[in-house]
Amino acid sequence: MKEIGEYLKTERKKNGVSISEASDDLNINETLLKAIEDGNSKAFKDIFELKEMVRNYSKYLGLDVESMLDEFNDYIFEKTSKISLEDIKNASNNHGKLEETTVKVSSPYTKIKHTRYDVAPIVLLVAILLFISLIVYLALKIIKNEPVISEELQGKEVVYENI
């Protein structure tokens, strides 16, 4: 983050813009802009706020916003995906030893996600199969010339009244 902040500071100075002028134009507190330029990510509520400010600041300075965000994402990945040296040492010391408890070393990006089966496609398939079975049944009844209407209704006269 320090490199990103230094680059933004250099570009701001190249453009002849003071920190207070940039603060007024971007409607961002001057201390937060200084924190960005100093590489102090702890001054922000969350990483998303910081990312949005880096985006706006880069756009304001006329920089390539996508490349700046790529740099920022690389910084975030490096910061969040590192495994502590202590965990690595413990894992390497325990290598080859059989223990009852196994300590796994992983980052948020290597965790195994368990998938949950969705019931909706199965219900839909069963409904389609029942519908097809009904159509086949009715088609066979028509082909065999068997009446589809029940015997109770046959022979009864239907009278329509004109209103």
More confident residue, 149 or 27: 27
Q: Is the pLDDT of residue 84 over 60?
A: yes
In this prediction, what percent of the chain has a pLDDT beyond 70? 66
Rounded Cα–Cα distance for residues 13 and 17 (Å): 6
Confidence of residue 133 (pLDDT cuts 50, 70, 90): very high
Those residues with Cβ within 8 angstroms of residue 117's Cβ, 6 or more apart along the chain or in another chain = none
Q: What is the pLDDT of residue 92?
A: 65
Count of C-beta atoms within a 10 Å radius of residue 68:
21
Running DSSP on this structure, what letter comes out for residue 43?
A: G
Question: Measured between alpha carbons, how far is 94 from 92 in angstroms, rounded to an integer?
Answer: 5
Model pTM score: 0.48
Q: What is residue 152's predicted lDDT score, i.e. its pLDDT?
A: 58
